[in-house]
Amino acid sequence: MRNFNNTHDMILFHQKHQYQFIINIGERFVNDLLDENGGFKTFDSFQQTYGIKTNFIEYYGIIHAIENGFHLKNTCKKLEDPVLPIAMDLLKINKKGCRIFYVVLLKAQHKKYVEDMNKWKLELQEDFTEERWKDFCALNFNFTNDVKLRWFQYRILHRILGTNDLLYKMNKRINDLCTFCKEEKETLSHLFVKCHISSRFWIMFQSHIQKYIPRRLHFTLTPIEILFGSNSDPIRCLITVLGKHHIYKSKMTEKKPDLTAFKQELKYYYNAIKYTATCNLEIQKFNKRWEGWSNIFQC
Ligand SMILES: [Zn+2]
């Protein structure tokens, strides 16, 4: 028997006029329509229980809508009255400590984590191990303390950044085309890597690094590094995320990414964190961290 929590869920179909009868008798939960075995009551049993006048077409109409709406294919677990929230069920099982809550939350988190990894593999046509994916996720907490940038990178990793593709699927846009080229679907990989406009931005950015930092004569970023970062150097990772952030801001303001504007942003960011490090008496640590990169802010 499948144990659904959906039985807690309210019947959301009451806006539909034809289902008003079911609200009139005070039924608000899917659970109210289940028999002791977890299946839906038959029409006769429903009529006997609630003494309501309706016809079987209306009754089975709402059962069908609930099954489709909550993706119920098997029987549900009938909950005892009064209906308790899922957290109370957990408390009944384990009366000591809160470990069980963490277990439930971690299970849900791990499922999402694997789903995200598989979606990335499919989108990039790349096969990476779960270990490598773990590294990409961990990297998000290593390259900077800046919460705004961490959150930005987190949204990319977990595919919740507002690209046109995502917004279109959420019915928030009329099409899913790329803001820059208007030719292809604006997925995360297209926006940050594959789009020829973003790609040109990265080529110019790489040339800039190669020109001003002689020891980085062969500085190049792979699509994977642009999207997920690399643990070779936290500053390299940081400026790459700042580059992506510039692309995303440009998209939001419907402008093209621009290297001159990005250089100004980078310089401003560098000076701001340098000032903070000075105030916190951490300038030596700061200089060591940025050693070899400061040339790019001189031009
Ligand atoms: Zn494009």
List the one residue out of 139, 137, 141 whose CA is nearest residue 113.
137
* Residues 232-257 pLDDT 10s: 788 999 999 999 999 999 999 999 99
Name residue, tokens 């340098």.
Answer: 274
Residue 185: strand pairing partners: 177
Give the distance (Å) from ligand 1 centre to CA of residue 79.
Answer: 51
Per-residue model confidence (pLDDT) at position 86: 65
* Residues 209-218 pLDDT 10s: 888 887 777 7
Per-residue model confidence (pLDDT) at position 21: 55
Question: Do residues 46 and 33 lie in contact, with contact meaning Cβ atoms separated by under 8 Å?
Answer: yes
Q: Between 86 and 137, where is the model more confident? A: 137
Per-residue model confidence (pLDDT) at position 82: 60
Average pLDDT over residues 40-63: 80
Instruction: Report residue 12's pLDDT band, with 50, 70 and 90 as the boundaries.
Output: very low
Average pLDDT over residues 28-34: 71
Give the distance (Å) from ligand 1 centre to CA of residue 178.
Answer: 5
Asked whether residue 83 carries a pLDDT value surpassing 50, the answer given is: yes
Residue 10: strand pairing partners: 29
- Read off the tokens for 11: 């019947």
Residue 35 main-chain phi, psi, to 5 deg:
-90, -175
> Can you tell me the distance from the alpha carbon of 8 to that of 114, in angstroms, rounded to the nearest whole number?
27
Give the distance (Å) from ligand 1 centre to CA of residue 197.
Answer: 7
Largest CA distance in the chain: 85
Torsion of CA 199, 202, 203, 209, to 10 degrees: 180
Per-residue model confidence (pLDDT) at position 219: 81
> Can you tell me the distance from the alpha carbon of 285 to that of 273, in angstroms, rounded to the nearest whole number?
12
Asked whether residue 169 carries a pLDDT value surpassing 80, the answer given is: yes
3-state secondary structure of 220: coil
Give the distance (Å) from ligand 1 centre to CA of residue 89.
Answer: 49
- Full-model pTM: 0.68
Instruction: Report residue 99's pLDDT band, with 50, 70 and 90 as the boundaries.
Output: confident
67-71, 114-118, 238-242 — most confident range = 238-242
Question: Do residues 149 and 242 lie in contact, with contact meaning Cβ atoms separated by under 8 Å?
Answer: yes
Give the distance (Å) from ligand 1 centre to CA of residue 237.
Answer: 23
Sequence-distant (6+) residues with CB within 8 A of 250 are 180, 256, 257, 258
Q: What is the mean pLDDT of the chain?
A: 82
* Residues 268-284 pLDDT 10s: 999 999 999 999 999 99
Per-residue model confidence (pLDDT) at position 75: 59
Percentage of residues of the chain with pLDDT beyond 90: 42
Give the distance (Å) from ligand 1 centre to CA of residue 190.
Answer: 6
- Read off the tokens for 54: 């309706």
Give the distance (Å) from ligand 1 centre to CA of residue 287.
Answer: 38
Asked whether residue 50 carries a pLDDT value surpassing 80, the answer given is: no
Question: Do residues 209 and 242 lie in contact, with contact meaning Cβ atoms separated by under 8 Å?
Answer: no
185: left (phi over 0), alpha (psi -120 to 50) or beta: beta
The secondary structure of 16-69 as a DSSP string is SGGGHHHHHTT--BGGGGB-TTSSBPPHHHHHHHH-----HHHHHHHHHHHHHH
Give the distance (Å) from ligand 1 centre to CA of residue 144.
Answer: 29
